[in-house]
């Protein structure tokens, strides 16, 4: 039953994940001299990987923008769209506890995020770490802020999921989790403290949001 639910969630998020992956492959690929769409993006050799500013579109800005938008789309698609299609009640009548149903949905969303965000970044990192691929120095510490972006993306996904799950009005308090999470992610992204403390903060945020999601799913009454 869980495998069937996971497959369903992956199919429904697959299109958005595929589009996000293609966009990331284009903008990161252009830094490697392999853009999916020629003539759009900076050419290879015009920048230092992970340290360049002012290149066309600013590669990190493009990366985090695509990642955050896709994370919010995943979260809202798994909650708001299911409620709109009236498939939520069908899922809740399956012989599974609510906690397992929503944890499976979260696992599917997390997998889509890993494939569309973390995987392209890892490929870009491995390319930059390979000798002879570019005429500039590289060390793994240069990628640290980008991995902060990935962690922030995960928190935004959970906040969007909670926002879509809450029964409040859109013009009321429904979007508070997403707004609060976005603010805290910006603080953690730019605060100049020891990186392990930064990632610990992201972890606490993620665990707190998962707890709130499970509690909201437990107490919410569906018509």
Q: Give the predicted TM-score (pTM) of the model.
A: 0.84
Question: What does the pLDDT read at residue 56?
Answer: 41
Low-confidence ranges of the chain (pLDDT < 50): 42, 44-45, 54-57
The Cα diameter of the chain in Å comes to 61
The count of domains in the chain is 1
Tens digit of each residue's pLDDT (9 = 90 or more) over 15-42: 888 898 988 888 887 777 766 666 555 4
Question: What does the pLDDT read at residue 54?
Answer: 45
Question: What does the pLDDT read at residue 61?
Answer: 80
Write out the two tokens for 96. 């599974």
Question: What does the pLDDT read at residue 202?
Answer: 85
Tell me if 66 sits within 8 A of 146, measured CB to CB: no
Q: Where are the alpha helices (DSSP H) in the chain?
A: 2-31, 59-76, 82-85, 88-92, 98-113, 119-129, 144-165, 176-190, 195-219
Tell me if 11 sits within 8 A of 105, measured CB to CB: no
Helix, coil or strand: residue 192: coil
Question: What does the pLDDT read at residue 55?
Answer: 43
Question: What does the pLDDT read at residue 35?
Answer: 62
Helix, coil or strand: residue 157: helix
Instruction: Using the structure block, give the residue that is written with the tokens 């506890």.
Output: 97
What letters, b where the CB count within 10 A reaches 16 and e where it falls short, cover 178-214? beebbebbeebeeeeeeeeebeebbeebbeebbebbb
Residue range of the domain that includes 211? 2-219
């Amino acid at each position: 039953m869980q495998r069937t639910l996971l497959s369903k969630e992956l199919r429904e998020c697959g299109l958005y994940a595929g589009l996000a992956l293609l966009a990331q492959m284009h903008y990161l690929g252009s830094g490697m001299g392999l853009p999916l769409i020629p003539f759009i993006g900076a050419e290879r050799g015009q920048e230092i990987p992970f340290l360049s500013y002012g290149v066309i579109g600013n590669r990190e800005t493009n990366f985090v923008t695509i990642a955050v938008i896709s994370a919010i789309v995943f979260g809202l698609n798994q909650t708001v769209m299911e409620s709109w299609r009236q498939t939520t009640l069908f899922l809740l009548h399956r012989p599974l506890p609510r906690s397992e149903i929503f944890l499976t949905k979260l696992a599917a969303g997390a997998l889509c995020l890993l494939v569309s965000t973390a995987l392209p970044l890892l490929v870009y990192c491995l390319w930059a770490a390979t000798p002879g691929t570019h005429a500039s120095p590289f060390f793994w510490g240069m990628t640290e802020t980008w991995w902060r972006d990935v962690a922030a993306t995960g928190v935004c996904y959970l906040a969007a999921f909670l926002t879509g799950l809450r029964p409040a009005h859109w013009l009321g308090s429904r979007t508070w989790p997403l707004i609060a999470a976005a603010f805290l992610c910006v603080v953690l992204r730019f605060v100049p403290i020891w990186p392990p403390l930064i990632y610990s903060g992201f972890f606490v945020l993620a665990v707190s949001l998962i707890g709130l999601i499970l509690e909201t799913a437990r107490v919410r009454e569906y018509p």
